[in-house]
Chains A and B, each alone.
Chain A
């Protein structure tokens, strides 16, 4: 198994975040948008040669999202790190090349990240209505599940990302 090029994957993460907060922000449904960084974290967790590389990547990708929010710094770094650790521990049980696996991982990952960040926002800023929280998380997870197979397949087939 080859190592993932961390610098190039970070560049992909920056591009994904820009895409999410510009193009996709304006076509978001009911305020929910797909979490494009979850497929990047999933790719790192499923395809990295060493779990520690995936953890580092997930942490850095989370910190990238933290830079653009009013929430506490490190919130998404922790959420994505836990997500990567969970995926890495389940890696032997998953058929990572299958699009359905990637969709499920993307959708569940986005749902978990959405709920965790909502809980964090409720703790640090103020309460979010439960119905809004569930509806937005579900639609964001659905959109991420649709995009995850495309994103993970593209990332896994891009030779530039491995060395």
Chain B
């Protein structure tokens, strides 16, 4: 009897779960993003403790003294604000050096939550949303590195899928080092595809391509998605070759999200209007 009651209770719950799964993410993500922002605020002390745990072995006294000096300077709010603004300017300058199109502008955003609760997804939440002109599919940059794309936008916050997320695929090309040390692009264009790990891989790279170990991978131009040419994606760390005509180079992104607290969203200005 108890078992029967139990199975009766499980049925509607399973149906409710499946009904929720069928809902479009544009409906379900905005309330989730709002809750995530609230959760991130509440969990900030635990997150900073986590960063301390992951800082590695105890540094030497000299390093500790340097850190002390750094911490002292950080306590001065004015210095901190100046440093933050300078960082934004550096990031903008670096981004603008690559993004030449005047119709593309940068919207700064802070990272609210840097982790996805599913271990198969690579996403983070930023503090800008549709109210700030952010829309799904916009590229997200850190300096001149492509971090990922807006996957869902709520009114005041958005979720960004990193280039290592399984949902992301972006046109890419590998820049190999020549004997003289100069970089030259490989002729064949590939697709950089995330796979849920900390790295991504290049799809449709021909076996005789020049994308060897250490090659730098950059974006290929994609005007339809607003992606300019030459944004840094990562470095080739190994190539798996099979019998087929295509190699599968593994790409390690240059940027570790744990060291980033602000990004820029690349927004296209239409008809001279600011986003």
Interface residues of A (CB under 8 A from B): 17-27, 31-33, 50-52, 55-56, 59, 62-63, 65-78, 81-82, 85, 88-89, 114, 117-118, 121-122, 125-129, 132, 136, 140
Check if A126 sits within 8 Å of B167, measured CB to CB: yes
Check if B195 sits within 8 Å of A127, measured CB to CB: yes
A117 CA to B121 CA, complexed, in Å = 10
Looking at the assembled complex, report how far the CB atom of A96 sits from the nearest CB atom of chain B, in whole angstroms: 16
Check if B195 sits within 8 Å of A59, measured CB to CB: no
Q: A78-B21, A81-B13 are in contact. Are A69 and B42 (CB under 8 A)?
A: no
Check if A121 sits within 8 Å of B39, measured CB to CB: no
Check if A26 sits within 8 Å of B42, measured CB to CB: no
Neighbouring A residues of B196 by C-beta, 8 Å: 121, 128, 132
Interface majority SS (helix, strand, loop, mixed), chain A: helix
Looking at the assembled complex, report how far the CB atom of A70 sits from the nearest CB atom of chain B, in whole angstroms: 4
Number of interface residues of B (CB under 8 A): 59
A88 CA to B117 CA, complexed, in Å = 26
> Contact check: which of B9, B35, B47, B123 meets A56 at CB < 8 Å?
B9
Those of B38-66 within 8 Å (CB) of chain A: 39, 42-43, 46-47, 49-51, 53-54
Check if B21 sits within 8 Å of A51, measured CB to CB: no
Q: With an 8 A cutoff between CB atoms, is B67 at the interface?
A: no
Neighbouring B residues of A52 by C-beta, 8 Å: 5-6, 8-10
Q: With an 8 A cutoff between CB atoms, is B127 at the interface?
A: no
Q: With an 8 A cutoff between CB atoms, is B242 at the interface?
A: no
Neighbouring A residues of B17 by C-beta, 8 Å: 59, 62, 74-75, 77-78, 81
A110 CA to B132 CA, complexed, in Å = 40
Neighbouring A residues of B2 by C-beta, 8 Å: 50-51
Check if B16 sits within 8 Å of A67, measured CB to CB: no
Q: Can you list 23 A-B pairs, Cβ within 8 angstroms, ordered by A?
A: A17-B117, A18-B39, A22-B43, A22-B50, A24-B50, A50-B6, A51-B6, A52-B9, A65-B117, A68-B115, A69-B121, A70-B25, A70-B152, A73-B21, A74-B16, A77-B20, A78-B14, A85-B7, A88-B6, A125-B167, A129-B197, A132-B197, A136-B119
Q: With an 8 A cutoff between CB atoms, is B161 at the interface?
A: yes
Neighbouring B residues of A121 by C-beta, 8 Å: 118, 120-121, 166, 196
Neighbouring B residues of A23 by C-beta, 8 Å: 46, 49-50, 53
